[in-house]
């Protein structure tokens, strides 16, 4: 009896480990492909054929982060090594990650997968809110907190998004600790392509580590292996909703490595350069902070 249980436990651990590898690969590839830039800006619509309005907004926001910013250069002293890791990650994506996501897509209907993605996004609110505070982005902070309260209650733990559907309070740009470091003047450092993890930089690698330790899921009553299994499931679920964004980028690029590197640097620079409202504007009702775009009680009616 004990041997059977041991075998089952071992199988679960192996599966979780595989999912972890898949998760890190997809998250890294997405970090680059959402920028969609080579030497000029490519509109999101040319790369990603969106199929669901709610989920499409998330991808569009990521592409929009690159905006019309001029090409940003990033130091790449480790290019030969980085290219090797890029090739490895690329093959891992096409031959392992994509088939897994397609299989998962057949198991759960699209509506269920969107609900799962909503729940994961909702749980990560504290991390984004903390970085909003550190960057003095008070409108984003207010929006994040309002959405978290409404979606955690009316939205059944974040499975649904009544904050957007009923009150018209949409998602704001994600904030992470890498952006916080950039806000205080820390540059990219040198470019990195990490095996399995993918495109990053010296600054953002540190930021990702801090955000990982701040993740609320990490402090649930689960083991480290179970934690990464949950994170892996999140990425597989997200990839199942994507429509070949990365494929489009690689297909349209003469040199995918340079394409992704430029896209990554440009997107991160654009994200850090975005401004918000200061506390004085909010408390004194200046500017347009309290406008129709942020109407938390819209769903209650007139």
What are 266-282's pLDDT values in tens digits?
A: 999 999 987 665 555 55
Residue 213 has pLDDT above 90, yes or no: yes
pLDDT (mean) for 226-237: 91
Residues near 220 by beta carbon (within 8 Å), at least 6 away in sequence: 227
pLDDT (mean) for 115-141: 96
Nearest to 72 by CA among 30, 39, 42, 47: 39
Question: Residue 232's pLDDT is what?
Answer: 86
Question: Residue 276's pLDDT is what?
Answer: 63
pLDDT (mean) for 85-112: 94
Question: Residue 282's pLDDT is what?
Answer: 52
Contact status, residue 281 vs residue 294, Cβ threshold 8 Å: no
Residue 117 has pLDDT above 90, yes or no: yes
To 5 degrees, how large is the angle CA 136–CA 125–CA 243? 110
Residue 226 has pLDDT above 50, yes or no: yes
Question: Residue 185's pLDDT is what?
Answer: 93
Distance CA 204, CA 286 (A): 34
pLDDT (mean) for 53-64: 44
State the chain's mean pLDDT as an integer.
Answer: 78
User: Regarding predicted confidence, which is higher, 53 or 226?
Assistant: 226
Angle formed by the axes of helices 202-214 and 125-134, nearest 10°: 130
Distance CA 122, CA 111 (A): 17
Res. 284 pLDDT band, cuts 50 70 90: low
pLDDT (mean) for 165-182: 94
Question: Residue 244's pLDDT is what?
Answer: 81
Question: Residue 288's pLDDT is what?
Answer: 53
pLDDT (mean) for 111-125: 97
Res. 103 pLDDT band, cuts 50 70 90: very high
Residue 291 has pLDDT above 60, yes or no: no
pLDDT (mean) for 116-137: 97
Question: Residue 273's pLDDT is what?
Answer: 84
Q: Where are the domains of the chain?
A: 2-300
pLDDT (mean) for 194-204: 92
Residue 202 has pLDDT above 80, yes or no: yes
Nearest to 113 by CA among 33, 51, 205: 51
């Amino acid at each position: 009896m004990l041997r059977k249980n041991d075998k089952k436990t071992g199988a679960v651990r192996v599966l979780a480990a595989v999912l972890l590898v898949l998760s890190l690969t997809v998250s890294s590839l997405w970090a680059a492909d959402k920028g969609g830039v080579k030497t000029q800006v490519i509109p999101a619509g040319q790369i990603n054929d969106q199929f669901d309005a709610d989920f499409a907004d998330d991808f569009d926001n990521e592409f929009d982060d690159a905006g019309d910013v001029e090409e940003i250069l990033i130091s790449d002293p480790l290019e030969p090594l980085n290219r090797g890791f890029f090739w490895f990650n690329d093959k891992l994506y096409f031959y392992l990650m994509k088939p897994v996501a397609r299989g998962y897509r057949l198991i759960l209907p699209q509506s269920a997968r969107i609900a799962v993605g909503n729940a994961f996004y909702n749980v990560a609110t504290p991390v984004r809110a903390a970085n909003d505070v550190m960057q003095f982005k008070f409108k984003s902070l207010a929006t994040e907190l309002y959405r978290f309260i409404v979606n955690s209650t009316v939205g059944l733990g974040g499975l649904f998004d009544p904050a957007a559907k009923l009150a018209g309070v949409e998602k704001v740009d994600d904030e992470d600790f890498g952006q916080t470091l950039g806000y205080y003047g820390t540059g990219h450092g040198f470019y990195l392509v990490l095996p399995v993890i993918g495109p990053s930089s010296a600054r953002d690698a540190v930021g990702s580590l801090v955000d990982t330790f701040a993740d609320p899921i990490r402090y649930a009553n689960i083991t480290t292996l179970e934690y990464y299994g949950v994170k892996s499931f999140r990425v597989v679920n997200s990839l199942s909703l994507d429509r070949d964004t990365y494929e489009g980028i690689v297909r349209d690029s003469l040199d995918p490595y340079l394409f992704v590197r430029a896209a990554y640097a440009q997107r991160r620079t654009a994200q850090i350069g975005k401004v918000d409202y200061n506390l004085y504007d909010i408390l004194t009702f200046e500017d347009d902070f309290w406008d129709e775009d942020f109407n938390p009680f819209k769903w209650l009616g007139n």
